[in-house]
């Protein structure tokens, strides 16, 4: 039976970008407001799940050529490197620092090394969630 | 006075959630239950909005948007499971 999913596919391909924008907001708001790396990663994973729901696995994997297991490894490695980097500079493990830097267009902004740790957390969460969901949806 | 109105709104929303819960338990078909769960999610969004007005905070506004996204994805997943039997297909045959 031929099925027609044009409404679902159109809505999904538009709203995936809205959800990814919300994920970026949640990620960068995490330092001063509710949000952070974990919930940012979960929202990114939910946008990907919406794409997998509207299209099929092979179509999405043609567009997003990412092995989610490797993504998990990259995330955990990045989080570990930010801890080891503090040890190389003579501070205890996982010591983080921040500094106020003046940019030409955006003005004075706070740059913290915790953001790199949160990037690692976010990548690990996206990788683990998508690995679980795509593994249990194998129909063979 | 304003707090009393907000509490009355919370009570009405709770009654609406209970009505949706009745339909989710009693509903004869699977689609009735899915629609009832979707209605409960929307009512919970309204409930979070009223609670954040009542507590005079804006810390819950992300939760509203997040619950909307999750309700949509959950409803789509249930609808696809009812119609096709699978949620994520390997290769679509069309």
ipTM: 0.86
A34 contacts on B by Cβ (under 8 Å): 59, 62-63
Q: With CA atoms as reference, report the closest residue to A109 among A9, A5, A3, A32.
A: A32
Contact B59 A34 (CB under 8 A): yes
**What is the pTM for the complete model shown?**
0.88
Token pair, residue A64, equals 């997003």
Token pair, residue B24, equals 């989710």
User: B69 to chain A nearest CA, in Å?
Assistant: 8
* Residue A24, helix vs strand vs coil: helix
* Residue A73, helix vs strand vs coil: helix
Contact A35, B65 (CB under 8 A): no
Size of interface A-B (CB pairs under 8 A): 60
Q: How far apart are CA A138 and CA B31, in angstroms?
A: 25
Number of neighbours of residue A126 by Cβ within 10 angstroms: 24
Query: Looking at the domain that runs over B1-84, which CATH code has it been given?
Result: 1.10.287
Residues ≥6 apart with Cβ < 8 Å to A121: A36, A37, A38, A41, A75, A79
Local confidence pLDDT in tens for the 140 residues of chain A: 567 889 999 999 999 999 999 999 999 988 888 888 999 999 999 999 999 999 888 888 888 888 999 999 999 999 999 889 888 888 888 888 887 878 888 778 888 888 889 999 999 999 999 999 998 886 65
Q: Where are the domains of chain B?
A: 1-84
């Amino acid at each position: 039976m031929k099925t027609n999913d044009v409404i679902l596919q159109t809505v999904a391909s538009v709203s995936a970008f809205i959800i990814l924008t919300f994920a970026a907001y949640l990620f960068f708001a995490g330092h001063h407001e509710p949000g952070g790396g974990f919930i940012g990663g979960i929202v990114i994973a939910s946008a990907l799940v919406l794409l997998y729901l509207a299209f099929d696995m092979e179509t999405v994997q043609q567009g997003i050529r990412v092995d989610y297991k490797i993504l998990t490894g990259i995330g955990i490695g990045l989080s570990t490197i930010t801890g080891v980097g503090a040890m190389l500079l003579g501070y205890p493990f996982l010591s983080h620092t921040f500094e106020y830097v003046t940019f030409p267009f955006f003005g004075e902004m706070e740059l913290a090394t915790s953001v790199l740790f949160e990037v690692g957390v976010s990548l690990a969460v996206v990788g683990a969630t998508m690995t679980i969901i795509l593994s249990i949806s194998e129909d063979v | 006075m304003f707090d009393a109105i907000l509490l009355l709104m919370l009570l009405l929303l709770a009654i609406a959630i209970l009505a949706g819960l009745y339909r989710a338990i009693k509903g004869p078909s699977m689609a009735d239950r899915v629609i009832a769960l979707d209605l409960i999610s929307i009512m919970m969004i309204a409930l979070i909005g009223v609670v954040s007005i009542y507590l005079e905070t804006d810390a819950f506004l992300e939760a509203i948007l997040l619950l909307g996204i999750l309700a949509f994805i959950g409803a789509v997943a249930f609808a696809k499971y009812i119609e096709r039997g699978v949620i994520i297909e390997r290769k679509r045959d069309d």
